[in-house]
Amino acid sequence: MKVTIGTRGSDLALWQANHVSALLTQLGLEPKIHIISTKGDQIQHLGFDKMEGKGFFTKEIEEALLNKTIDLAVHSHKDLETTQPEGLTIAAVPERSFVEDTLLIRKECVNPSGKFLLHANANVGTSSVRRKAQLTHYLPQLNIIDLRGNVPTRIQKLRNEQYDAIVLAKAGMMRLQLDLSEFHIIDLTPSEFVPAPAQGALALQTRVNDPLVDLLNPLNHTDNICIEIERNVLRSLGGGCQVPFGAYCEHKDGVFILHTMYKSSKSPSAQYHLLRSENAEEVTEMAISKLK
């Protein structure tokens, strides 16, 4: 069975598509990759909080699925809206990679006594409203500057001294196997600096009732219920990358441990919660109740 994979054209998106292509080959399928440009790729001069609409990195790919230009979409799971477009479904979520955010600091800008080794008024690059909320929660005087572009482009901007430090998802950097030895690297603890819901995970999206739905089932990882919990809480907030919200769930010894961060328009600072329950639905409802 031939399968056309739709993906963005960035280095990371192509790594992800090729990774999934290899998995499909192991299942006896014949994949090929089709590159699609999205709104998020085309508009590079604005931060996400200044862009209109939703699905900046997914809408055009989902439209290609619906009109059958492609058979399968490979997304960074955190980019997907929490409600699927009519006619589409997430057929599989492979094993999750690293969940945490990573802070890259130019070595000459390291402050040994500062929080996250940053100077109080350092120039830090990110376009994520979630990361902005947490950075200013811990270091209110930071100068947060929008940072757009694919992962290598962002790192080059740091290298060019446009920023003192930048924040990126660790999973993307590890997948690209980038040489970052010139920077000081800090992996931010997920319980303290809460990642985006589903960060580090891939989502394989296809059409409802497509034969691929059943064929992709072997690629589903057994512990994806934690990702579902994170995204269900995000859904209660109207979900999307314009919401300053983070969630990270672990399942240990039969207990779901859920960390959340939310910066509402009514609150002067980010609010953090740690919730525990043996029941997935209960811990989800507990989190939603805290966010109301």
Euclidean distance between CA atoms 18 and 130, whole angstroms: 29
Cα-Cα-Cα-Cα torsion 40, 43, 45, 51, nearest 10 degrees, comes to -70
- Per-10-residue mean pLDDT of the chain, 292 residues long, equals 94 95 97 87 49 62 95 94 93 96 98 97 96 96 93 96 97 94 97 97 96 95 91 88 90 96 88 97 96 84
Residue 32, helix vs strand vs coil: strand
Range of the domain at 23: 2-95+201-221
Do 215 and 170 belong to one domain? Answer: no
Read off the CATH number of the domain in which 54 is found: 3.40.190.10
User: Amino acid identity, residue 32?
Assistant: K
Does any domain span residue 283?
no
Do 84 and 12 belong to one domain? Answer: yes
Q: Which of 11, 41, 49, 79 is catalytic?
A: 79
Residue 203, helix vs strand vs coil: strand
Does any domain span residue 262?
no
Q: Angle, nearest 10°, between helix axes 11-26 and 151-159?
A: 150
79 is known as an active-site residue:
yes
In sequence order, what are the beta bridge partners of 6?
34, 73
Question: For the chain, how many structural domains are there in total?
Answer: 2
Can you give the pLDDT at residue 267?
81
Compute CA distances 105 → 33, 109, 115, 192, whole Å. Answer: 35, 7, 13, 19
Can you give the pLDDT at residue 49?
47
